[in-house]
């Protein structure tokens, strides 16, 4: 049994999609980010970085004690190895998939995440930051669109690289990007989104407090996500 500690964010949906795709037995332990549930001391044993998602595999590869893993890219590779699926067997394609997974982890996710921060959370967003991250968000879509104009899936076959990118492409609507501007992305997005496991894994609860277009945070919520409470959890 795998415990998925998560919340309905693009990074969380990467893992819930992969678990739905593989059919690995799991249960979803949900957290309320705005109440700081991920900052509690007990969670540090699972993820010392106090971020979601994370997993605990009670029947880990190689046996032994339960294995806790954090960082969504590392989790996807682990689940691919455990299930023997969605990471190509061919060395060339395997490393192509890992390459695009790392591109998502280092580029698409963080840069779009900064755009989300300044457009959705910042009370008085500076014009420079909005333009800087908005421009980079669009540039990364140009890169993705070019790749998808050449191949059906990022590693030529459907893989964890597609699962990692798809939720972030879906979230782009919250930063005023219309994927219709990128025809190859749009076609790929629809193709991946037609998969039953993707629809199941990316389902957003109706009452998810983090699903809004513009977030109005009270001081305590701000402290949990970006301020002193977040810092205190790392130092305690």
pLDDT, tens digit, for every residue of 17-59? Answer: 999 999 999 999 999 988 889 988 889 999 999 999 999 999 9
Main-chain phi, psi angles of 51, to 5 degrees: -120, 160
pLDDT band at 9 (very low <50, low <70, confident <90, very high): very high
pLDDT digits (tens, 9 = 90+) for 128-180: 999 999 999 999 999 999 999 999 999 999 999 999 999 999 999 999 999 99
Q: What is the mean pLDDT of residues 93-121?
A: 96
Chain region(s) in the chain for CATH 3.40.30.10? 2-85+217-235
pLDDT band of 207, cuts 50, 70, 90: very low
Q: Look at the pTM and tell me if it is higher than 0.75.
A: yes
Residue 221: both structure tokens together:
């919520």
In the predicted model, is pLDDT for residue 11 greater than 50?
Answer: yes
Cβ proximity of 55 and 19 under 8 Å: no
Q: List Cα–Cα distances, 126 to 115, 133, 176, 201, 213, in angstroms.
A: 12, 11, 17, 35, 18
* CATH class belonging to 91-199: mainly alpha
141 Cβ neighbours under 8 A, 6+ residues apart: 172, 177, 179, 181, 182, 185
Separation of alpha carbons 50 and 39, rounded Å: 6
pLDDT-based confidence at residue 201 (cuts at 50, 70, 90): very high
Q: 198-207 long-range contacts, Cβ below 8 Å, gap at least 24?
A: 198/17, 198/20, 198/21, 198/163, 198/166, 200/16, 200/20, 201/13, 201/16, 201/17, 201/18, 201/19, 201/20, 201/21, 202/13, 202/16, 202/17, 202/166, 202/167, 202/170, 204/8, 205/8
pLDDT for 218 equals 83
- Domain boundaries for CATH 1.20.1050.10 within the chain: 91-199
Greatest mean pLDDT among 104-108, 121-125, 213-217:
104-108
- Domain 2-85+217-235 belongs in CATH node 3.40.50.620: no
**Can you tell me the mean pLDDT for 181-205?**
94
pLDDT the model gives residue 213:
52
């Amino acid at each position: 049994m795998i415990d998925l500690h998560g919340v309905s964010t693009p990074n969380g949906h990467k893992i819930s999609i992969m678990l739905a795709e593989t059919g690995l037995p799991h249960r979803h332990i949900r957290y309320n980010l705005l109440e700081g549930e991920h900052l509690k001391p007990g969670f540090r044993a699972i993820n010392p970085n106090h971020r979601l998602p994370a997993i605990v595999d009670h029947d880990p590869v190689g046996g032994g004690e339960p294995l806790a893993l954090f960082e969504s890219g590392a989790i996807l590779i682990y689940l691919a190895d455990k299930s023997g699926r969605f990471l190509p067997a061919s060395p060339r394609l395997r490393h192509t998939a890992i390459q695009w997974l790392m591109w998502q982890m280092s580029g698409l996710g963080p840069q779009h995440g900064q755009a989300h921060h300044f457009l959705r959370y910042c009370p008085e967003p500076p014009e420079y930051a909005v333009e800087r991250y908005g421009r980079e968000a669009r540039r990364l879509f140009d890169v993705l669109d070019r790749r998808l104009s050449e191949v059906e899936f990022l590693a030529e076959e459907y893989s964890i690289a597609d699962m990692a990118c798809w939720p972030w492409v879906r979230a782009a609507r919250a930063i005023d990007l219309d994927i219709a501007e990128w025809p190859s992305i749009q076609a790929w997005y629809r193709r991946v989104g037609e998969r039953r496991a993707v629809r199941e894994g990316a389902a957003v609860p109706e009452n998810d407090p983090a699903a809004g277009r513009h977030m109005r945070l009270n001081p305590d919520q701000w402290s949990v996500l970006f301020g002193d409470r977040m810092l205190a959890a790392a130092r305690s």
